[in-house]
Amino acid sequence: MAAAVRFLLKSAACSKASNVTNGVHSGLGPASLRLSPKCDPHSRTQTRHAAHFTFQADPTPTEYGQTQKMNLFQSITSALDNTLSKDPTAVIFGEDVAFGGVFRCTVGLRDKYGQDRVFNTPLCEQGIVGFGIGIAVTGATAVAEIQFADYIYPAFDQIVNEAAKYRYRSGNLFDCGSLTIRAPWGCVGHGSLYHSQSPEAFFAHCPGVKIVIPRSPVQAKGLLLSCIEDKNPCIFFEPKILYRAAVEQVPVEPYHIPLSQAEVLQEGSDVTLVAWGTQVHVMREVANMAQEKLGVSCELIDLQTILPWDTDTVCKVRCSSILYLICVSEEGQFNIYFLFIKSFHIITWAASSSNTSI
Amino acid sequence: MTSKHAKAFYFSIESLWVAAACASPCVQKCDTHRLDDAPPTKSVLTRDDGLKYYRTMQVIRRMELKADQLYKQKIIRGFCHLYDGQEACAVGIEAGINVTDHLITAYRAHGFAYTRGVPVKEILAELTGRRGGCAKGKGGSMHMYAKNFYGGNGIVGAQVPLGAGVALACKYLGTDQVCAALYGDGAANQGQIFEAYNMASLWKLPCIFICENNKYGMGTSVERASASTEYYKRGDFIPGLRVDGMDILCVKEATKFAADLCRAGKGPIVMELQTYRYHGHSMSDPGVSYRTREEIQEVRSKSDPISLLKDRMLSNNMASVEELKEIDVQVRKEIEEAAQFATTDPEPPLEDLCNHIFYNDVPLEVRGTLPWVKLKSVS
């Protein structure tokens, strides 16, 4: 059975590869790269021809009021604008945020709210997060920006040892729940070692912080506002490849999308696909291809909150007696996180049903 | 005198012109911190050295401009941080230390890769990602290495504790070598640099901490980033020197002074080189939104390191205008040939993609982009 699944996905991927080549020539997707003409596209080794995905917008939400066309970075700016306007204690800081940020997420906020509330920090990630924890402990709302998720490691100690454990070690006397750390995340095509990393797995084993990764502008604004309101320190990773590529109609007023609730984007009965961030759009294409070419019905789940993740939705028992779970993520080979989800799922399944074949 | 005689007269004057073999130009006095001595204010410059420094700086200048051109043609991709304007720092430091000494810097590293011995064509081929590159095409702009040159490092400030470690190895192994650990004005605010200062001073390591202060950390001017812009004093308990980084002789004398101090076992020293970069932070930064074009022009016209050396050599009769022009022509040719190589060399083969992850005796299997696609990693 496992071999059948692998075969199924392998043929899906191969068809995808040939579609990708066509896609590149037809100019689909802003993320496509071109191979040097010197490389032989017909070589026998597996060759990736281009990084490809197409952002797929969700239908415009109607329950949150008037909407406006925004891309991802504009939806982040809107969320931060709402926060600064509603919450007088809110401050935003990080490297280069004053002029608008290297990805333009904070454009106009300093002019609107003043230099006391939107300000630059020097080049010191450990200092930025430590400083943010300090602000949050006094009760003010702190939104700290780390310029790229790749640079978050100097702050790792502050996040894991200080922020995550503050409430626990002080017996609920103190907490830094009003801290939110934002960072551009994930591959972008030309980022190489230090502008492409997806470090969510490093933090996923740390109780006390929440990790959230949106797939689109509407999700991003709602989830970011929830993170800021949430009384736990949150890390909000923003897929940088979607900053300009993802455009949707986003509500202008503040709204919240609940944390720790995975969203089932597509119902299906044969295979469950779990993904987050950019990969959700890749999986949408894969699900369509699997349906068209192989007649396989895929269920697609956007995990959204990586920690604490929605075990109920992902592990829900299906009617079908055979269930496959595929987790897709941009992390490196050695990431434990998706193996954890898979093993959790398998254990839950084995415990609840005797008719399983995995 | 008839015109025929006049021509003969001038011809003989020209053939009698002999370049001065040596000169002792003055250099600016360096500001010091916790130092009783200072580097000398006169620097002995021989003709050969002068021509060598001129040529080296010109190579770096033209190589960076060629990299700019190749980047705009999309032959170089990814990140590219150019060094033009700061040539005197790389060449002056190399002149002040020995080939057996060690050097480590951050990502603005093309100039140092050249001064530390990587040929131009290997640097350009590395930028274009070809197999002839010094890191086999897999490293790119920020990851160039050579013997006693530890890169080429992408994360800001991370290379400074590494440099202190190399200095520890020099002391531990009993060699007479020093390590120059470079960083910028932006990185000077990183916590790990102060950790490195403390360890180096505690253990009296032969480490020269060199801050290349080009006035801007990406788009942030030094006044907006640092509570104290006197970077040579930031080591507090470590002696410091502030050096004119646009004058190669000043840099050379200061580096020699610092290296001698370290070799005498007197522990680390901080050197601040006041320099300037003409390009923006990287190729995606036009470099004019946080500083004026007039400012850049002023530095180019008054303090350009290559022009300063050229004027010195001409005014001391150490070289003629034609000679220097000839060097320019040769350098251009060398860069053109290197660029030609860099654009035509093939890319590294796919089999090389995953090599050198671990050191392992047996080949390791690495997951490709799909779970059943396995790539081999050999070390």
Catalytic residue among A125, A162, A200, A229: A125
Chain A residues inside the 8 Å CB shell of B156: 123, 151
Chain B residues near residue A99 by CB distance under 8 angstroms: 219
Q: Which of A1-5, A43-47, A207-211, B175-179 has the lowest mean pLDDT?
A: A1-5
B79 with A192: Cβ contact below 8 A: yes
* List of chain B residues whose C-beta atoms are within 8 Å of the C-beta of residue A333: 366-367
Give DSSP secondary structure letters for B52-93: HHHHHHHHHHHHHHHHHHHHHTTSS-S-----TT-HHHHHHH
Which residues of B lie inside 8 Å of A (Cβ-Cβ)? 77-79, 140, 142-143, 154-157, 186-187, 189-192, 217-220, 224-226, 346-347, 350-351, 366-373
Catalytic residue among A195, A256, A263, A331: A195
The reported pLDDT for the residue numbered B367 is 78
* Per-residue tokens: B374: 């396995």
The whole-angstrom separation of Cα B343 and Cα B339 is 6
Residue A45 has pLDDT above 70, yes or no: no
Q: Do A124 and B189 lie within an 8 Å CB cutoff?
A: yes
Nearest chain B residue (CA) to A194: B154
**CA of B217: which chain A residue's CA is closest?**
A123
**Helix, strand and coil percent figures for chain B, each rounded to 5:** 45, 15, 45
Q: According to the model, what pLDDT value does residue B265 have?
A: 95
Mapping DSSP to helix (H, G, I), strand (E, B) and coil, where does residue B270 land?
Answer: strand
CB pairs under 8 A between A and B: 65
pLDDT over 90 percentage in chain B:
83
pLDDT at B152 over 70: yes
Residue A308: cis peptide before it, omega within 30 degrees of 0: yes
Of B157, B192, B220, the CB nearest to A96: B220
Annotated catalytic residue A125: yes
Residue of A32, A47, A124 for testing the chain B interface, max B β-carbons within 10 Å: A124
Is A145 annotated as catalytic? no
Residue A167 CB neighbours (<10 A): 18
Condensed to tens digits (0 to 9), the pLDDT of residues A18-31 reads 333 332 233 333 33
Query: Among partner residues B79, B140, B350, which is closest to A45 by beta-carbon distance?
Result: B350
Minimal Cβ distance to A120: which of B156, B224, B366: B224
Dihedral sign for Cα B158, B164, B170, B172, please.
negative
Kindly determine whether residue A124 and residue B226, on different chains, have CB atoms separated by under 8 Å: no
CA distance A225 to A258: 10
Instruction: Give me the amino acid identity at B191.
Output: G
Rounded Cα–Cα distance for residues A49 and A42 (Å): 10
Q: Is residue A252 exposed (0-12), middle (13-18) or buried (19+ Cβ within 10 Å)?
A: middle
Structure tokens at A30: 């802003």
- For B154, the closest of A46, A48, A193 (CB atoms) is A193
- The reported pTM is 0.82
DSSP string, B297-336: HHHHHHH-HHHHHHHHHHHTTSS-HHHHHHHHHHHHHHHH
Q: B322 vs A252, B45, B319, B325, B355, CA distance in Å?
A: 68, 20, 8, 5, 49
pLDDT of residue A57: 94
| Residue B285 to residue B272: CA distance in whole angstroms | 25
Q: Which residues of A touch B225 (CB under 8 A)?
A: 120, 122-123
Q: B279 to chain A, minimum CA–CA distance in Å?
A: 18
ipTM: 0.78
Interval B260-274 mean pLDDT: 96
Residues pairing with A194 in the sheet = none
Give Cα A137 to chain centroid, integer Å: 26
What percentage of chain A exceeds 70 in pLDDT?
A: 75
**Angle (deg, nearest 10), helices B321-344 and B305-315:** 150
A354 has a pLDDT exceeding 50: no
At B306 the pLDDT is: 97
Q: Hey, are the CB atoms on B191 and A154 less than 8 Å from each other?
A: yes
So what's the pLDDT on residue B363? 83
- Summarised one tens digit per residue, pLDDT across range A68-97 is 999 999 999 999 999 999 999 999 999 999
Cα(A173)–Cα(A167) distance, integer angstroms: 7
- At A106-147, the pLDDT tens digits run 999 999 999 999 999 999 999 999 999 999 999 999 999 999
Res A191: pLDDT:
85
- Give CA separation, B45 vs B19, B23, B27, B53, B253, in Å: 13, 5, 11, 10, 11
Q: Measured between alpha carbons, how far is B290 from B287 in angstroms, rounded to an integer?
A: 7
Residue B12 to residue B37: CA distance in whole angstroms: 49
> pLDDT per residue over B60-80, tens digit each?
999 999 999 999 999 999 899
| Yes or no, beta carbons of B187 and A123 under 8 Å apart | yes
Is the per-residue pLDDT at A353 higher than 60? no
Name the residue in chain A with its Cα closest to that of B188.
Answer: A123
Query: Residue A150's closest chain B neighbor by CA?
Result: B155
For residue B138, the chain A residue with the least C-alpha distance is A192
pLDDT digits (tens, 9 = 90+) for B284-327: 999 999 999 999 999 999 999 999 999 999 999 999 999 999 99
A97: number of CA atoms within 13 Å, CB side?
33
Residue length, chain A?
358
Lowest-pLDDT range, B85-89, B96-100, B349-353? Answer: B349-353
Nearest beta carbon to residue B78 from set A96, A151, A192: A192
- Which of A6, A45, A191 lies at the smallest CB-CB distance from B372? A6
Q: Is the pLDDT of residue A56 over 50?
A: yes
Q: Residues A282-288: what's their mean pLDDT? A: 93
Which of A43, A123, A190 is the best residue to mutate to test the B interface, defined by the most B CB atoms within 10 Å of its own CB? A123
